[in-house]
Structures are given as C-alpha cells and as structure tokens.
Structure 1
Amino acid sequence: MSSVNQSQSRGNSSQKKGGRKRNENNVIYANPLPITFSRVENRFTVTALGIFGISPARLLKPQCKGTFDPITRSVWITDPKDRAILWRRGFFGKGNLSRSEPSWLVRQTNIRTAVGRQTTSEEVTAKRRAERKQFKLDRARGIAAAAAEAESAFAEGRIISAEETKALIPSAATWKPSPSTQNVTLSFLEQYQGAADLDAEPLEDMEHMQLTFSEAFFLTWALDCLSIRRPNALEPMTLPEIWIAFQTTHLPPHLQAYSSQESILRPDNPFLLNYFFFHHYRSLGWVVKNGFAVVLIPVYEDARDAESSPFSLSNSEPFTWQWLSTINRVNSQVQKTLVLSYVTIPALSRVSLTELTSPACFERYSIREIIIRRFVPARMRD
C-alpha cells in the first residue's frame, strides 16, 4: 500500500515539474522507428486472427525521399514532412543549420517575432552557458569575499566557522540564476532582431536534413521507408547502385574514377564497418549519433590485408594510455560510459567478391565490446 502511495506522489510531483511538457514529448516521440502499426477495423478479420494468437495490426511504412550527395557523404532530406517523420520516429539525421533537430525556421521565426513560441535546443544551450558563466563569476566573488573575511578575522583574532564560510561561497545545489540569465533566450533573439526587421519578406526554409550513409542505408534496406535518387535525376537508385555508390565515396579521390570493382568491394571499406557498427546498436534500441561515447575500433583478421588496403581507417592503430585516460576522464565528467567496440574485419582470403556485392557479407563480421569506467576511490570503496 505504501509503494502505491509513493508512486502516486511521484506522479503528482512529475506533473507539477514539467509533466505536461513530458507528456507532449511522449506523444510526439512515441515511435522508435519510422514504421508504425495500425489496428484492423474489420471485426471478422480481428476475430479470425485472434483465434490463432496473431495481433490484428497492419504495417505502415512512410515513403520518404532523399538525394545522394557524394561531396558531404550524406543523403539530403528536403521535404519538411519527411524530416519531421525521420526525426520524431527514431531521431534520424541532423539539420545542416542546427545542432541536431532541424530548427532553423523556428529560430528565424522567433527572431522575427521576438517571441519564443517554441524553444529550440540552440536557445536552451545559450541559456545554460550563460547560467554556468554567472555561477562561476558568483562563486569566484564568494571565494574572494571568504578570503577577505578570513584575513579580517585573523587580524582581529576572531574565528570563522565552516558554516559562515559556506554561506559566502555559492553551491551548485542551491545556487539560482538571476533574472538576467533567465531572460537570456530573449537576448539571444534580440541580437538578430535589427537584421530581421530589414527583411520583411516571407521566410523560406533554407535548411535540409542530412542523413549519414549508415542511417540512409538502414532506412532503405532494413526498413524500406526511404528512396534515394542522384542529383538532377528522376528515378530513384536501386539497392545495388546505393551499395556501390556509398562505398565508392570512401575511396581516395585519385582512385574513384579509375577503380575497379575489386578495389571498391573490400571488407575493410569504411562504409561497411560503420554500417555494421550502426546496425548492431540500432538493433539493441540505441540511437547512434556523433559524439556517442562508443569508439569503433577496426581489427583485421589477417594483418596482411592492411598492407594492400587503399583506406586509412580511424582508430586502427593502438591507443596511447594518455589518450585513453583523457577520453575516459571526459566521459566521466559528462556522465557517459566509454565503450570500446572492436569490429573484426574478415580476411580477404575467405570472403568472395559475390558476397561483397550485397549485405550478405555482414555474416562474416563480428563485434565485441569492452566497457571502461574510471576508478574513483571515494565512490568505489567496495
């Protein structure tokens, strides 16, 4: 009975503290993937399927469209509806003029109206940075005041208690920002207000979403909800064409025009490694983004294959302890866990060219993970 009351009290408190916004986000981002399921309205069908224990649902797949761009090694999504679907259902892609979610048009609208109807991530970041800056200044002033008070007390022969010293130095747990930083979002908008008033023409959305090759191929091959075409082309690319094009872009520029199929279709092609890595973690329900605290480390099954490879693979050389200690410390400070993901590249001697012409070659790859955590004696006494 007590556990029920505690959960109810926590639920009431969550509704008071941003519960409404959280519920809205749960509705907007309810689907983990672009594909969804709808109920079958036919009663006879529902009854017949229920007898065999089959859920009466119908698979719905959006038909999003993208454009292949070899220069940026990405697939561009320009339709606002497709961008919204891919972002809200799985957080695919990134706005080319935004930090993550394509919000350039929203920011420009906020700038022109000087009213932030929908707060963007850029505005939230600007506010948090201003708050951190003010906290550091207030703490520095508090430390200087405490030092001055200690010198004065020493000269007068007084003793200052620890409570008095703590009262002078603000704490991150109790410190509250001043109204100046609470209104930093409005200042963030006002700094561009003068330039926005000069142009009263209707706003045109200048932003597009960029999908990585791994995201684009996952949406095309695994989910079948994205079609990709070349620039200035009407017909979408076939899956074999996408397979070859994504791998060709990773070749050195002087080899792209004169390369043969044997040089392109290699098991150590960066696209294959990145996609195998991406598909593995997506299948676990993770959202893979740049800045993710998982390091992809390619490992050749046959070390002689590295000598004939035209690719320069990242993280293929052994890490130094200085690098590992530094990145582990940074991840600990931002409350992330460092994962070293070793992807084994199959040897050329046991992978045929036929296998490399399709995703069937992924059966030859393997992955193993090592979690590294920073040892903190004060927190890990046991």
Structure 2
Amino acid sequence: MAAVPQSKPSADSSQKKGGRKRNENNRIYANPLPITFSRTENRFTVTALSIFGVSPAQVLNPRCEGTFDPTTRSVWITNPKDSMTLWRRGFFGKGNLSRSEPSWLARQSHIRATTAGRHITSEEVTAKRRAERKQFKLDRAQAIAAAAAEAEAAFAEGRIISADETGVLIPSAATWKPSDLTRSIASPASESLQEVTDLSLEPLEDMEHMQLTLAEAFFLTWALDCLTICHPETLEPMTLREIWVAFQTAYLSPLLQASPSQAHGLRPDNPFLINYVFFHHYRSLGWVVKNGVKFSVDYLLYKRGPVFHHAEFAMVLIPVYEDPDDVKSSPFAISNLEPFTWQWLSTINRVNSQVQKTLVLSYVTIPALSRLSVGELSSPACFKRYTIREIILRRFVPARMRD
C-alpha cells in the first residue's frame, strides 16, 4: 500500500497560533532559577577540564536584596531590577499592586500615553457602553409607554389602530443610535482630559514592590544563596540563624512574640516549617509553586510557569502529627488539621475539575517532638525528618469512564 504523503505546515502557521509570542516568552523566561551558568572563555581551562569530562561553567548569582516584614509575613523587594529578575527566573513573588507580575508602572504609563494621545482606555470604553445601554433602555421604555397610552385612548373611543398608525417608533438594539446628549455624557469632559494630560507630564513614581512568601524567601536565601534579607528596623543583613528564628517567630501570637521561648518558638509544627517543606519538595522537583487561594486550595503547581500554561495540579496541604500528643502543647492554629467532610472534598474537587485541574491531597508528616534534639530544631537539619505523601482525588463520571 502506497504511503499517503502528509502536507507540511505552512511557514506562518506558528505565527497564526501565537508562535511569535511563545518564542518571546521562551526567550524572556528561559532560566528556571535566578542563578544562571555561563561557559568560561579560557581555552586552557576548557581543554584541561574536557580531559576529565567536566564542562567548565561560571555561576552567575544576581545577589538580590529584600527586607523582612513580620506584619505581612513576607519579604519585600523594592528594587525593580531585582523584582523582574526573580519573576522572570522562576516566577518568584507577586506584585502588591498586580495579580502576579509587578506590572503596575507599565500599566500606568500605558494609561497616561493613551490619554495624552486622546485615545480612551478599556475602562472608558466600558463606561461609555454602559451609558449608551442605559439610555437605550430609557428611550425604549418611553416609546413603549407612549404607544400604550395612545392605544388605550383609541380603545376608549371604540376604535382599533395598528402599530403603524400610532406614529410611535419603538427602538431596537439594531437600529437605535445614541444622541449627541448621550455622547456628551458618556465621553470624558475636555477639562478633565486636559487635566490628566497635564498630570502625565510629571514623572511617574513606581509605587509597587514585590512580596515574597517566607517559604520563597528562605528557598532563595538558603537553597540558592541569591537573596540577602535585611532586618526591618536596622536594615542590616540578617544571618541565616536570625532568619531561621525570625521566620518562625512571625507565626507566634503577639503575646508569645514578646517573650519567645525555646518551647514555643522552635517546634516542628511551626507553620513556616510545614509550608517550607512542601514548597522545597515540589520546587526541587521542577514545579513552579504558587498560591492557590483563587481555587480554594493551598497551592498550585505549574509545569513551567503561569506565562506558559495553566496550573496542572491543585494542592491541599494536610499536616499530620507523628505523635498525636504534640497537638495538645502546640501554640499554633494550623489549618487543615481537622478531618475534611465529604461535602467539602466534593465541592473543592468539583471546582477544580471544572477548570481542568487535578486535585492532590499532600500529607506532610510532622516529626515527633520527643525524637528531635535542640540542635536539629535550631537549623534546617530538621527538614530530613519530614515526609510527604500524595493522594490524587478525581471525580467519577460514569458517562466518561466506561472504558
């Protein structure tokens, strides 16, 4: 049997399917982590290392800087260059005035540019359409009322008239056009437009900063050594020991923060440790871990990042005590500690199934306090005591799962 020749895709097929934007994203977000590697240019070093099968490379560390904020339990990155570096190399953090990427300054600059060029923004287009729709409803209601009044008057006189004889034209959405008065109400006034244009001449100050969660900040500091965290009061760089204690103390109540003790501050069930174990585990496996409050879960796992694909997995972090007696002495209000109801699980699973996400229950086992020494709790050495187990929960749809 002769093979059927397959037609080759056209040259511009990738461009039609967003190939140009995809290639641009691949270029901008090419690095999965802030630390990058570059090959050395020393020929002697290349030749000597090639004999032993070693590829020579130089580590390029961005050395970003942030400030710890205990009130919001986050680390603030105020340098725009560092913010874009951390976002474009691993999608770390979130802009405090943006949904994800710190883009407030770019959006405000675009709005001022369009206003100065007498172009209306998308918000103004929406306001104009709403005003026209409201005026159309008023005109239609007045026309219907006038036609009804004339029909009632004719009925009282004992005669019947047709719709054409009433002389009242009821407008429709296809034929109705806004009047000059409606246009003047919907469009911005010239005085306010001139005022905004004058304000656009002033330099625009960037009011946005990036916020890193404590898990993200500790991962960048301890695992990658590319972030320096400063003290919120002295603005001096904090040591790893100071960061370790400060991040755990941030989850204590104000009364315990005033006089933190070894028994309350350094415990294996500290929410910072539980969340960091979860974050480090999946981040080390190559997943991009982001907050999942939008879909009523704890975290979302992206294969490459939110720019390329939607999140594939919706994660619910469930802490489990190895020793149930440790719950009685815990000073923390740990979420998801109580057993879930089937109604709650069914609701969460239905929500994430509608957006094509797989619900995963991630159980983080908290080691028993009795078998942890003070030295282990005083350093990241305690992380080796934690374990993680996953359970995938899916809806059973008989019509789709017969095969």
Regarding TM over 0.5, the answer is yes
CA gap 1:335/1:264 in 2 versus in 1, 3 angstroms: same
Matches within 5 A, 1:175-190: none
Point out the structure with max Rg over C-alpha: 2
* Maintained 8 Å contact 1:262/1:353: no
Structure 2 residue 283 is matched with structure 1 residue 282: yes
1:275 is paired with a residue whose SS is helix
Q: Distance in 1 between matches of 2:263 and 2:229?
A: 25
* Maintained 8 Å contact 2:67/2:235: no
Structure 2 residue 217 is matched with structure 1 residue 216: yes
Which residue is 1:43 aligned to? 43
Which residue is 1:175 aligned to? none
* Maintained 8 Å contact 2:68/2:230: yes
* Maintained 8 Å contact 1:111/1:193: no
1:9 deviates by 2.1
1:371 deviates by 0.7
1:199 deviates by 2.4
1:14 deviates by 2.0
CA gap 1:207/1:365 in 2 versus in 1, 3 angstroms: same
CA gap 1:10/1:33 in 2 versus in 1, 3 angstroms: farther
AA matched with 1:20: R
The one-character-per-residue Cα deviations of 1:52-81 (angstroms, maximum 9, x if unpaired) are: 111121111110000000011000001011
The one-character-per-residue Cα deviations of 1:345-378 (angstroms, maximum 9, x if unpaired) are: 0011101111000000001100000011111222
CA gap 1:252/1:21 in 2 versus in 1, 3 angstroms: same
Matches within 5 A, 1:146-185: none
Q: Distance in 2 between matches of 1:3 and 1:96?
A: 56
* Maintained 8 Å contact 2:320/2:364: yes
Q: Distance in 1 between matches of 2:375 and 2:265?
A: 13
The one-character-per-residue Cα deviations of 1:185-239 (angstroms, maximum 9, x if unpaired) are: xxxxx99978843623110000000000000000000000000001242420000
* Maintained 8 Å contact 1:294/1:341: yes
Q: TM-score, length-normalised on structure 1? A: 0.77
The one-character-per-residue Cα deviations of 1:297-349 (angstroms, maximum 9, x if unpaired) are: 00000101001100010000000101000000000001111010000000111
Which residue is 2:159 aligned to? none
Percent identical = 74
1:263 deviates by 1.2
Which residue is 2:91 aligned to? 91
User: How many aligned residue pairs are there?
Assistant: 312
Alignment equivalent of 1:332, drawn from 350, 353, 358: 353
Structure 2 residue 325 is matched with structure 1 residue 304: yes
The one-character-per-residue Cα deviations of 1:241-280 (angstroms, maximum 9, x if unpaired) are: 0000000010112111122122100000000000000000
AA matched with 2:345: L
Q: Distance in 2 between matches of 1:372 and 1:256?
A: 39
AA matched with 2:282: Y
* Maintained 8 Å contact 1:63/1:225: yes
Q: Distance in 1 between matches of 2:320 and 2:343?
A: 21
CA gap 1:45/1:322 in 2 versus in 1, 3 angstroms: same
CA gap 1:13/1:4 in 2 versus in 1, 3 angstroms: farther
Which residue is 2:104 aligned to? 104
Q: Distance in 1 between matches of 2:197 and 2:255?
A: 48
Q: Which has the higher helix share?
A: 1
| Structure 2 stretches lacking a partner, 5+ long | 116-121, 130-187, 293-299, 301-313
Which residue is 2:274 aligned to? 273
Q: TM-score, length-normalised on structure 2? A: 0.73
Q: Distance in 2 between matches of 1:311 and 1:78?
A: 31
* Maintained 8 Å contact 2:36/2:60: yes
| Structure 1 stretches lacking a partner, 5+ long | 116-122, 131-189
CA gap 1:304/1:4 in 2 versus in 1, 3 angstroms: farther
Q: Distance in 2 between matches of 1:3 and 1:327?
A: 48
Matches within 5 A, 1:230-245: 230-245=231-246
Q: Distance in 1 between matches of 2:377 and 2:195?
A: 54
Q: Distance in 2 between matches of 1:302 and 1:105?
A: 50
Structure 2 residue 23 is matched with structure 1 residue 23: yes
* Maintained 8 Å contact 2:358/2:394: yes
CA gap 1:40/1:321 in 2 versus in 1, 3 angstroms: same
The one-character-per-residue Cα deviations of 1:83-130 (angstroms, maximum 9, x if unpaired) are: 010000000000000000000001101111118xxxxxxx8xx99xx9
Which residue is 1:14 aligned to? 14
Alignment equivalent of 2:369, drawn from 345, 348, 353: 348
Q: Distance in 2 between matches of 1:350 and 1:206?
A: 48
* Maintained 8 Å contact 2:318/2:337: yes
* Maintained 8 Å contact 2:318/2:363: yes
